[in-house]
Amino acid sequence: MESPISSILKEFGLEPKEVAIYLAVLRLGKATISEIARESKVKRTTIYEHADRLTKENLFHKTAKGRQVFYVAEDPAKLAKILERKHKRLATIMPDLQKIYASSTHRPRMRYYEGIEGLRTIYLEMTSTSQVMYSIFSTEKFLTLFSEKDSDIFITNLYEHGGEIKDLIEHNAAAKKYASNALYKKIGKAKTLPEQFDVPVDLMVAGDKVSMISYANLVGVIIENPEIAELQRTLIKFIRRSV
């Protein structure tokens, strides 16, 4: 079974043979290639390349005695310094990597939320838009988690951001009351789904964002991707034309 030390050294970036060579020299203090081969059980012919790499990484240094060359292990504390140096080098290019990541239109960005406050965050973010938001919405299920005051807060948020909403709502009294809200009428256009249509998940689309909320599990996601958003928006528009 592999030791924890070997496993962590591999995570550090050393190859399996390099781990064996490094630990062998660490135990011996200093060693020739032949001594390293005996201690590490690594073939002598492959040791040169790996030992030289470990020397370049400042984990070993070479010393000579007569015609013999010895590899000497450095203080293991240098591992932490090497890792710190790599982190600093990575930090210098991180802004450029983030720009490349942000510029990709093909990679959906997904954020996961849970609990009442997590769902509240989703509603506030999705209603913070100046665009038309399309949704399939269950007022009854919403009101099992939130209050009418919460509903007013979300509608007001959308209104204040200059957005509009086009809802598909269930066929019930709660939905009818929701759609008759005075402020909602200024920015909203609701269409009622067939009576047998049940909405288990709240779906909202605004700009390049799509959100889905499961009332039963108190979980939700926001996906940011223009293609996914456009597909969901098109599907809601199609249903609106059909009811």
What confidence tens digit (pLDDT) does each residue in 48-104 have? 999 999 999 889 999 988 889 999 999 988 888 888 888 888 899 988 888 877 776
What DSSP element (H or E) covers 134? Answer: strand 132-137
Q: If you average pLDDT over every residue of the chain, what do you get?
A: 91
Confidence (pTM): 0.58
2, pLDDT greater than 90: no
Tally helices (H) and strands (E) across the chain: 11, 10
Residue ranges of the chain that CATH labels 3.30.870.10? 109-242
Q: Are 203 and 236 in contact (CB under 8 A)?
A: yes
Which residues does 112 contact at the CB level (< 8 Å), separation at least 6? 219, 220, 221
Quickly state the pLDDT bin for 105 (edges 50, 70, 90). Answer: low
pLDDT of res. 100: 78
Measured between its terminal Cα atoms, the distance across the chain in Å is 65
107, pLDDT greater than 80: no
Range 109-242 has CATH code 2.160.10.10 = no
Q: Are 232 and 181 in contact (CB under 8 A)?
A: no
CATH of domain 4-78: 1.10.10.10
d(CA 178, CA 142): 11
d(CA 190, CA 201): 17
Residue ranges of the chain that CATH labels 1.10.10.10? 4-78
pLDDT digits (tens, 9 = 90+) for 178-208: 989 898 999 999 999 998 888 999 999 999 9
pLDDT of res. 83: 83
pLDDT of res. 106: 64
Token duo for residue 32: 């020739």
DSSP string computed for 56-77: HTTSEEEEEETTEEEEEEPPTH
d(CA 216, CA 44): 63
Q: Which of 31, 36, 40 is nearest to 62 (CA)?
A: 31
Average pLDDT over residues 19-36: 93
Quickly state the pLDDT bin for 1 (edges 50, 70, 90). Answer: low
pLDDT digits (tens, 9 = 90+) for 231-243: 999 999 999 998 8
Q: Which 3 state secondary structure label does DSSP give 188?
A: strand
- The residues facing 220 across adjacent strands are 113, 213
d(CA 180, CA 80): 64
Pairing of strands 209-214, 201-206: antiparallel
Which residues does 35 contact at the CB level (< 8 Å), separation at least 6? 28
Quickly state the pLDDT bin for 22 (edges 50, 70, 90). Answer: very high
